[in-house]
């Protein structure tokens, strides 16, 4: 994708770090909204380019970016969750 929004895209290394923190059972900080709005995870089109060139052979797309995107979608776009937030005010 040629979006030319390089300043808004933090890159795969940062997403791997955030995925490790977000999925750690002792970590309680919620980074999903920040990833969605200001760190450009939506600009990743999941073509696995970062996985192909990773010198350590890490499957970045499958093990970090896709799970992060799934968590963000669950939080931001789930209609049942939106209804519960509307009713409870949280």
Q: Which residue has the higher pLDDT, 39 or 90?
A: 39
Report DSSP state, residue 54.
-
**Full-prediction pTM beyond 0.75?**
no
Report the alpha-carbon distance of residue 2 to residue 29 in Å, rounded.
32
| Largest separation between any pair of C-alpha atoms in the chain | 48
Q: What is the pLDDT of residues 31-71, one digit of tens each?
A: 888 888 878 787 777 788 888 888 888 888 888 889 888 88
Q: Considering only CA atoms, which of 60, 43, 42 is closest in space to residue 51?
A: 60
């Amino acid at each position: 994708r040629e979006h030319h929004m390089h300043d808004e895209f933090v890159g795969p290394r940062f997403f791997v770090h955030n995925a490790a923190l977000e999925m750690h059972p002792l970590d309680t900080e919620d980074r999903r909204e920040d990833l969605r709005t200001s760190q450009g995870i939506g600009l990743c089109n999941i073509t696995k380019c970062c996985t192909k060139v990773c010198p350590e052979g890490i499957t970045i797309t499958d093990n970090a970016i896709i799970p992060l995107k799934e968590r963000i979608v669950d939080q931001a776009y789930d209609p049942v969750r939106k209804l519960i937030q509307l009713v409870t005010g949280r």
